[in-house]
């Protein structure tokens, strides 16, 4: 059988959440199913490390799909042409985008539809593309996989999709996210926070991630509690956010905030494992992989009580109202003052994290694929 896969987000040294989902699931699926031929569709030259076996054939298409107009050209012209040439039986798209111009049965992985609820966070042209095409993708897809029960309900209600067409396929966590020794923690803190303990945010800097209220909360925390605790922010700027910039420049404790920018996966795992706590309080999230990564590193978590986050965090985190910087500040105070609570959250995290692994993700994604394959057989 010929199975085409959208792998345009497999970018060497630049894997983000969906890229990791693609990498971890397809690495396992292609190995577990040598009886099938997989055609990986890239939009630029690829790394050989993404060619997981002899049953994987890479195909580079153009144009590079990094803009709404180019998305349209790529998915409505380049992809259908490639599917015809390879005589594809099925298509798996791991990033939500798919082609309306093909009759090939498609399993579409829609991670979330945040743009339907927070359109103000996106540039106008991107917002238009998502809101115009994703409802069409959801309706045309032969089957949909998504990463949380929250996202399933959201897609179902927003786009009027039959719930039987949607499968929940939770994310997993890379094996490099693991506790590290105290000595390694000290070394990591000296590299990134001048040897001081720190709260940590991980993720792209866009309004949906709520870094504005995180900064406000940290500033109030520093006023309320005398300590050398810092705030580290690991991630790159996605969209210009004037509110975030204004808050930062008006902070009394801005000298205690360290912007790390984009860091390597090897460094990030150590940075998370050395944190006093993860402070990840987005307004909207389809899953929230940093929460899981922190739990795998035995690090306490402060996170939001909205959208998919409670589903992932369970009782292994302090859950706060992301709209309230006061709530976030109070959680920081609890973490800073209460060693017993920190230990309790870590213990709960060790139990909660067992619900999520990339092996389970790959198995569930393939099961969703088989349901699509067997439909009408």
Print pLDDT tens along the chain (377 aa).
999 999 999 999 888 889 999 999 999 999 999 999 999 999 999 999 999 999 999 999 999 998 999 999 999 999 999 999 999 999 999 999 999 999 999 999 999 999 999 999 899 999 999 999 999 999 999 999 999 999 999 999 999 999 999 999 999 999 999 999 999 999 999 999 999 999 999 998 889 999 999 999 999 999 999 999 999 999 887 656 677 888 999 999 999 999 999 898 899 999 999 999 999 999 999 999 999 999 999 999 999 999 999 999 999 999 999 999 999 999 999 999 999 999 999 999 999 999 999 999 999 999 999 999 998 55
Strand 230-234 versus strand 318-320 pairing type: unpaired
Distance CA 17, CA 254 (A): 28
Question: Do 2-172+358-374 and 182-355 agree at the fold level?
Answer: yes
State both tokens at 156. 């179902």
What architecture is domain 2-172+358-374?
3-Layer(aba) Sandwich (3.40)
- Pairs from 255-259 (Cβ < 8 Å, separation ≥ 24): 256/218, 256/222, 256/229, 256/230, 256/231, 257/215, 257/218, 257/230, 257/231, 257/232, 257/233, 258/192, 258/193, 258/198, 258/230, 258/231, 258/232, 258/233, 259/233
Domain ranges of the chain: 2-172+358-374, 182-355
Q: Of 157, 125, 155, 127, which is closest to residue 141 (Cα–Cα)?
A: 155
17: left (phi over 0), alpha (psi -120 to 50) or beta: alpha
Q: Tell whether the torsion through CA atoms of 30, 265, 177 and 107 is positive or negative.
A: negative
Count of positions (residues) in the chain = 377
4 DSSP β-pair partners: 39, 91
pTM: 0.94
pLDDT score of 62: 95
Query: How would DSSP label each residue in 194-259?
Result: TT--EEEEES-BSGGG-HHHHHHHHHHHHHHS----EEEEES-B-S--HHHHHHHHT-SSGGGEEE
Fold of the domain spanning 182-355: Rossmann fold (3.40.50)
SS3 40: strand
């Amino acid at each position: 059988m010929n199975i085409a896969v959208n792998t345009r987000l497999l970018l060497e040294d630049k894997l983000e959440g969906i890229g990791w989902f693609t990498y971890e699931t397809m690495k396992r699926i292609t190995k577990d199913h040598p009886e099938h031929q997989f055609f990986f569709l890239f939009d630029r030259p690829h790394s050989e490390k993404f060619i997981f076996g002899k049953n994987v054939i890479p195909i580079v298409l153009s144009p590079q799909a990094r803009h709404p107009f180019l998305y349209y050209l790529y998915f409505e012209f380049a992809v259908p042409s490639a599917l015809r040439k390879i005589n594809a039986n099925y298509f798996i798209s791991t990033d939500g985008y798919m082609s309306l111009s093909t009759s090939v049965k498609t399993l579409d992985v829609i991670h979330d539809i945040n743009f339907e609820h927070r359109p103000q966070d996106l540039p106008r042209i991107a917002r238009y593309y998502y809101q115009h095409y994703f409802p069409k993708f959801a309706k045309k897809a032969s089957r949909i996989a998504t990463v949380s029960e929250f996202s399933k309900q959201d897609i179902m209600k927003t786009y009027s999709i039959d719930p039987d067409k949607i499968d929940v396929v939770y994310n997993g966590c890379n094996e490099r996210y693991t506790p590290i020794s105290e000595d390694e923690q000290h070394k990591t803190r000296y590299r990134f926070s001048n040897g001081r303990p720190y709260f940590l945010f991980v993720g792209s800097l866009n309004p949906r991630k709520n870094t504005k209220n995180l900064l406000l909360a940290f500033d109030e925390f520093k006023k309320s509690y005398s300590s050398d605790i810092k705030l580290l922010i690991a991630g790159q700027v996605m969209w210009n956010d004037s509110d975030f910039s204004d808050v930062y420049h008006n902070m009394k404790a801005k000298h205690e905030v360290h912007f790390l920018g984009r860091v390597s996966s090897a460094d990030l795992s150590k940075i998370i494992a050395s944190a006093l706590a993860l402070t990840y309080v987005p307004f909207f999230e389809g899953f929230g992989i940093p929460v899981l990564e922190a739990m795998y590193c035995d690090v306490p978590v402060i996170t939001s009580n909205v959208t998919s986050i409670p589903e992932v965090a369970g009782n292994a985190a302090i859950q706060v109202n992301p709209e309230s910087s006061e709530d976030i500040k109070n959680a920081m105070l609890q973490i800073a003052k209460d060693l017993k609570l920190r230990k309790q959250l870590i213990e709960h995290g060790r139990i909660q994290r067992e619900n999520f692994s990339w092996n389970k993700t790959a198995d569930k994604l393939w099961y969703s694929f088989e349901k699509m394959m067997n439909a009408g057989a």
